[in-house]
Amino acid sequence: MGFTIEDMMTFAEEKYSMKMIAGKKGWSNSINWMLMLEELTITKNFSGKELAVTTGLGFQSEESQKELLQMLIDANACGLIINTGCYINEISPEIIRICDENDFPLLTVPWDVYLVDMIKDISIRIFIQGSTDEQISNALIKVIENPGNLANYKKELLPYFDTDGYFQVILFSTGNLDKMDTVDRKRLGYRLQLYLNNITHNGHFFYYDSYFVLIMNDVSKKEADMIINEFVKKASRKMPEYRINTGVGSSIKDIENLYLAYSRAKSAVKMAELSGVNTLKFDEMGIYRLLFSVNDTLLLREMSSDLLRPLIEYDEKHDANYIQTLESYLKNNGSIQAVSSEMFTHRNTIIYRIKNIKKIIGTDFESQEEKTQYYIACLIMKIS
Segment-wise mean pLDDT, segments of 10 residues, the chain, 384 residues: 89 96 92 91 85 95 95 93 96 96 96 95 92 91 86 83 94 87 86 80 90 94 90 86 92 93 95 90 92 82 87 88 90 90 91 91 86 87 79
Q: Which residues contact 148 (CB under 8 A, 6 or more apart)?
A: none
With a threshold of 0.75, does the pTM exceed it? yes
Q: What is the pLDDT of residue 268?
A: 95
C-alpha span between 253 and 341 (Å, rounded) = 43
C-alpha span between 181 and 187 (Å, rounded) = 10
C-alpha span between 1 and 121 (Å, rounded) = 20
Strand partners, 172: 212, 246
C-alpha span between 217 and 55 (Å, rounded) = 39
Burial class (CB in 10 A: 0-12, 13-18, 19+), 318: exposed
Q: What is the pLDDT of residue 211?
A: 95
- Between CA 277 and CA 279, with CA 278 as vertex, the angle to 5 degrees is 100
Other C-beta atoms lying within 10 Å of the C-beta of residue 101: 11
Q: What is the pLDDT of residue 370?
A: 86
C-alpha span between 72 and 303 (Å, rounded) = 54
Q: Which residues contact 53 (CB under 8 A, 6 or more apart)?
A: 34, 35, 36, 37, 80, 81, 83, 115, 118, 119
Q: What is the pLDDT of residue 175?
A: 78
- Between CA 8 and CA 145, with CA 153 as vertex, the angle to 5 degrees is 110
C-alpha span between 143 and 254 (Å, rounded) = 11
Q: Which residues contact 88 (CB under 8 A, 6 or more apart)?
A: 56, 59, 60, 65, 82
Is 100 within 8 Å of 80 (Cβ atoms)? no
C-alpha span between 245 and 156 (Å, rounded) = 31
Domains and CATH numbers, the chain: 5-123 (3.40.1390.20), 161-293 (3.30.70.270), 297-383 (1.10.10.2840)
Closest CA to 102 of 237, 2, 220, 7: 237
